[in-house]
Amino acid sequence: MINTIAYGLTIGGILYIISIGLSLTFGTMRIVNFAHGLIYTIGAYLLITTLPIFKNNFIIGALFTVLAVIPISYVIERFIIRKLYGVSIDYAIIATYAVVLIGIDLIKWIWGASPIPLSDPIGIDITLFSVTIPLYRLMIIVLSLIIFVTLTIFFKKTMIGKIVIAALEDKDAVRSLGINVDKYFSYVFIIGSCLAALGGVLYAPITSVHPYMGMMVLLISFAVVLVGGLGNIKGTFVSAFILGLVMAITGRFWGPAAETMVFIVMGIVLIFKPIEV
Amino acid sequence: MLSVENLNVSYGHAKVLHDVSLKVSNGEMVFIAGRNGAGKTTLLKTIAGFLKPDTGSVIFEDKKINGMLPEKVAHLGIRYVFQDKRVFSNLTVKENLEIAAYPVKENIKDAIDKVIGIYPKIEKFLNMRAGSLSGGQRQILLIGRALIGKPKLLLIDEPTEGLAAGTINDILNVLVKMKGNISLVIVEQNLSVVGMLADRVYMMKEGKILKEMTEKDEITNKENLEKYL
């Protein structure tokens, strides 16, 4: 059971890293961004491509990948997302889904459709309470905690963070003070995309890398965001770990229901706490 | 300073403002009064850049500003204070002021001093969450926030709406301190407040300006104002 919980916390950590960007984009721009899943997939593919170049140094490969998605996410934000501000949410779904479909085809064209396995970059197991857990998974949990603390400090202490928090509540009031809110939303979008790519990088050694890997994780991330609250940094953190545990524990007893259970939990939460858009 | 000429504004196919014209001089306190749905807020939002007029023009310091983005309008020196006391409730009072000071590059200490100048009690609340302030304190914070960066014209929407009599006095004191130092366009339904402070009054009904008043006798006569509601 401890192994299952450790796995659940690992999934929770990755879900948090992926979902926080989605939550902020959803919360600030009111845009359902399917392209977030594509960035996650691109992150994983960039890692497996660059690892041989960096002599299999996972950290340098991960850093390179996170930086490499900045121009990609900038292009998506500047030429697609920005045109969807204030437009009906349906258009955002269709437009960003189209980006995903184009992106998946490009991935298949460049890397092929076959799943590519990636081995554990640390390859060391540690024993905790007489249970053996891969160190890599513990590192993911610690990293997600570090990201949570860093983002919390960023949004509390920096002017960009405060403007985003204010705009989450009242975008027009921020604009009335002479602040170009869209510029700050772009920053949020790029930070979120970098984290999505990092999620792809971290999950690649746990699963296999394939063109559709972003689709399922995106739907689960939406569940995390809806349960945690749009733009709610702390809520997304708690929700990611709870749903990660739900997936792992359900999967232990009945594998096929692991992901379904996430959406059942989401449905129950939405009954008692409807979303405010 | 501000001249609105033959402004027509619609929400979709519904026309809300019909050939509205008004003017505001330097240091003048102009009130727009009228019942709900008269188009007062629509007029302020159009001046502030949140709505685009169908026809007509908004001219500020000899520059046509219709269709300009709200943030650009703010940089020209026009600040819009929304109705409903919309502070950034998850941030502290001080952080609310910091955000206002940031785009105009005003020192936060100077910004805080400016707000303390119009409402000394706010010093006690600086580190409190803005969401925990009372309605009156929120309104004063919003006015203070809008004053940061030496704006030339303030557009204030319903500053006394939903406030108790004692709190309205606090707002009145703040407005009195500002009178003559800055141009103001205030949407207000409380005709006693209008009569006390206005230099010029526009009475609105069904999207039109029914009457412009500049004579003190006309403005201070509440019954006269009520005729146009």
The per-residue pLDDT for range A14-48, each reduced to its tens digit, is 999 999 988 888 877 777 888 899 999 999 999 99
Assigned domain for B105 exists: no
- Selecting from A163, A170, A172 the residue whose C-beta is nearest the C-beta of B50 gives A172
* Mean pLDDT score, B76-102: 92
Amino acid at B38: A
Instruction: Examine the pLDDT at B54 and tell me if it is beyond 90.
Output: yes
Mutate to test the interface with B, among A176, A179, A234 (most CBs of B within 10 A): A176
Query: Is A176 within 8 Å of B74 when comparing Cβ atoms?
Result: yes
Contact between chains at B79 and A176 (C-beta distance less than 8 A)? yes
pLDDT reported for residue A72: 93
pLDDT tens digits for range A112-166: 999 998 888 888 888 877 788 889 988 999 999 999 999 999 989 999 999 998 9
Checking if the pLDDT of A277 tops 60, the result is no
- Min distance B77 CA to chain A CA atoms (Å): 9
Span A223-276, pLDDT tens digits: 999 998 887 888 999 999 999 999 999 988 888 888 899 999 999 988 887 665
Task: Give the residue numbers spanning the domain of B28.
Answer: 2-84+145-226
Whether B218 and B51 have beta carbons less than 8 Å apart is answered as no
CB spacing of A162 vs B75 below 8 angstroms: no
Interface list for chain B against chain A, based on CB atoms closer than 8 Å: 48, 50, 69-71, 74-75, 79-82, 86, 88-91, 95-96, 98-100, 102-104, 145-146, 149
Inter-chain Cβ pairs, chain A and chain B, closer than 8 A: 64
The minimal CB distance from B98 to the residues A162, A173, A174 is found for A162
High-pLDDT (> 90) share of chain A, %? 52
- The Cα–Cα gap between B17 and B42 comes to 8
> What CATH number is associated with residue B34?
3.40.50.300
Domain presence at residue B109: no
Specify if B163 maps to a domain: yes
Domain count, chain B: 1
Question: Residue A200: pLDDT above 70?
Answer: yes
In a domain, B95, yes or no: no
Give the mean model confidence (pLDDT) for residues B126-155.
90
Tell whether B126 is covered by a domain: no
Reply yes or no on whether the pLDDT at A211 is more than 90.
yes
User: What is the reported pTM?
Assistant: 0.83
- Candidates A162, A163, A178; nearest CB to B75: A178
**DSSP-derived pairing of the beta strands B153-157 and B78-81:** parallel
**What pLDDT, on a 0 to 100 scale, did the predictor assign at position A29?**
73
